[in-house]
Structure 1
């Protein structure tokens, strides 16, 4: 029996939730059933060096040189030509496109005899950033819509004309265990409050800063683990930090996986201030590490945060969240109970379900 050839398209394999989930998927699929190709739109992702040797990697350069621009104006579709080169070499029968950010690739689908999967990790806020022509392609040219959570599935299934199903996003528990092998939690001199994610408006970094001002710097430290977005919001936050008003706040960027999980596991509490979440993998990571979570009820957080692992707050005001944080720090939580509360989010089982769709 010949193996199914699948090309996975994703942005860069940096350590964002959507990229990590895709990384886990391509390594969980049964190699006896699938030949796997990975197409990256950007180079130098943090996870690239960890790709298994059986996965064939291609780069689709979406930037145009002067010569490319000349060819484009002469009538050549430069991106299509590059995709044809990859497709001719790999001969995929399935395209699996990761995130709505890459939905523009669907415009090239009809040039090839392939079925298409689009993995939607985003919720409504992100669709404002999607051009309407790419949103229409989602509904018209995708054969299978993969939802990252029940929240996303419940919204899109009634309006998507073909097949949609849930692949619950999950965390790589084996990786976390490996990173924490020699870790032993000790009592911090100060209460350590951590959050994580790309430094952007949707993640509520400004709310995090406001909360920090309600806690004395000699008793509490607030740490944000995540990359700086390349936008005006991140620049405003950076300049806020430079004012010196937030003396108990640190931003840690470009940390390794081991450093990230050790820092996370050392916290007394984790805050997710997201204004909207489709799932919330960073909260799941904290819970698995035994760190109680204070979460705004931003969608996906309601799927996992409960009395066994933290507090779900219905209010986004920093003074209310600060009061809830005091309550959270007084509570006691069992590591076993916390881990059991997210036991249903198992990426291995989810990939087994995905395989049945890929083999259709």
Structure 2
């Protein structure tokens, strides 16, 4: 039977920098069952002055991932001058034709990875070329400040999707709180099993606290640092705290984070800041860690939490949404939001061995629920029924 062609439209993608890497990983999981193509529409600002004649170009760059998945980066201009909408629609249609011509195969289904803006592109491809589409929403949903015209278009994008997927029940609640009541299906998420797996620790390993995430208000790292000051006063031997990825959402936060941690005046906790890391580096750090901490205010799913659990690392997390679908009393602890005292109390329970986890079993349980075999079965069934 001939493989069907799937175009995975990404809302963000920069493979050299590791941005959108889980889109690539998910594409690679289904490449044996489908011909998959990764597509990213990358805008550049365009305007003109009296001195400069207006000219623009649409260019599709093609390259391949390590596992030979084709990637199409479509560079197109966004017009920034009077009556831009007279031009923009035609430009976007030309951009769509550009990548379709490069693929040179009929696309059976488009899969938008997040509504903004991959979902909008899939809707336009559906209207212009009659290609059916589905979407998976990963991001927190906040329509505050969204122009009325785009809000109406969003309703159409969701309504016209053959299937509406979300990574967690919490996202369904977020859609509802924004007045979007549709029949959503929960897909969940997955992780790279080859990279994130259980590794038995040696008898003399040191106690290590770890977190992975960008320095941004929604991650609420001030509470984590406050919890560390409480822990520091209640221990009498040196332990380590590692923070990975403070710059993973862009910016240069390393110096701010370093100043914050130094200002704590910790005596027993040694701090290591790693502003960016590959998934392999993250996995290596997790495999030598004792406990993972998440103090987020809101998480649609929490891939970093999933990766920690896959390595057998128990997780202490705030009640932030999507993490509730992974964390159980057997593999971690859920604490109230903005309660550094309770975070610290549970770190100390693990430190003093009052809380002990079966880390190897927990890793296996997570693999059964969220591993590649489970995910491939889910997404392949979804692709097949929407193509049919």
Instruction: Please give the TM-score of this superposition, normalised by the length of structure 2.
Output: 0.75
Q: 1:252 aligns with which of 266, 274, 278?
A: 274
Distance in 2, Cα, partners of 1:185 & 1:18: 33
Quote the residue 1:316 is aligned against. Answer: 338
Residue 18 of structure 1 and its aligned partner are, at CA, apart by: 9.1
Quote the residue 1:356 is aligned against. Answer: 384
**Does the 8 A contact of 1:222 with 1:249 survive in 2?**
yes
Change (3 A) 1:99 1:133: farther
Quote the residue 2:112 is aligned against. Answer: 97
- Structure 1 residues without counterparts, runs of 5 or longer: none
Quote the residue 1:108 is aligned against. Answer: 124
Quote the residue 1:79 is aligned against. Answer: 92
Matched, 1:192 2:208: yes
Residue 314 of structure 1 and its aligned partner are, at CA, apart by: 2.2
Matched, 1:279 2:305: no
User: What is the SS of the residue equivalent to 2:20?
Assistant: helix
- Structure 2 residues without counterparts, runs of 5 or longer: 44-62
**Does the 8 A contact of 1:8 with 1:39 survive in 2?**
yes
Residue 167 of structure 1 and its aligned partner are, at CA, apart by: 1.3
RMSD: 3.6
Distance in 2, Cα, partners of 1:15 & 1:198: 18
* 309-318 or 99-108, larger mean C-alpha shift: 99-108
**Does the 8 A contact of 2:297 with 2:337 survive in 1?**
no
Distance in 1, Cα, partners of 2:86 & 2:3: 37
Change (3 A) 1:42 1:222: farther
Residue 289 of structure 1 and its aligned partner are, at CA, apart by: 1.1
Quote the residue 1:222 is aligned against. Answer: 241
Change (3 A) 1:74 1:272: closer
Residue 204 of structure 1 and its aligned partner are, at CA, apart by: 2.0
Distance in 2, Cα, partners of 1:185 & 1:349: 36
Quote the residue 1:335 is aligned against. Answer: 359
Residue 89 of structure 1 and its aligned partner are, at CA, apart by: 3.2
Change (3 A) 1:16 1:152: farther
Please tell me whether Structure 1 or Structure 2 has the larger radius of gyration of its CA atoms: 2
**Does the 8 A contact of 1:311 with 1:328 survive in 2?**
no
* 333-342 or 256-265, larger mean C-alpha shift: 333-342
Residue 290 of structure 1 and its aligned partner are, at CA, apart by: 1.6
Residue 57 of structure 1 and its aligned partner are, at CA, apart by: 1.6
Change (3 A) 1:105 1:41: same
**Does the 8 A contact of 1:18 with 1:99 survive in 2?**
no
Residue 148 of structure 1 and its aligned partner are, at CA, apart by: 0.9
Quote the residue 1:120 is aligned against. Answer: 137
Q: 1:213 aligns with which of 213, 224, 229?
A: 229
Distance in 2, Cα, partners of 1:358 & 1:18: 28
Distance in 1, Cα, partners of 2:20 & 2:66: 12
**Does the 8 A contact of 1:40 with 1:59 survive in 2?**
yes
Quote the residue 1:39 is aligned against. Answer: 39
Quote the residue 2:369 is aligned against. Answer: 344
Change (3 A) 1:49 1:253: farther
Change (3 A) 1:163 1:107: same
Distance in 2, Cα, partners of 1:185 & 1:134: 55
**Does the 8 A contact of 2:140 with 2:174 survive in 1?**
no
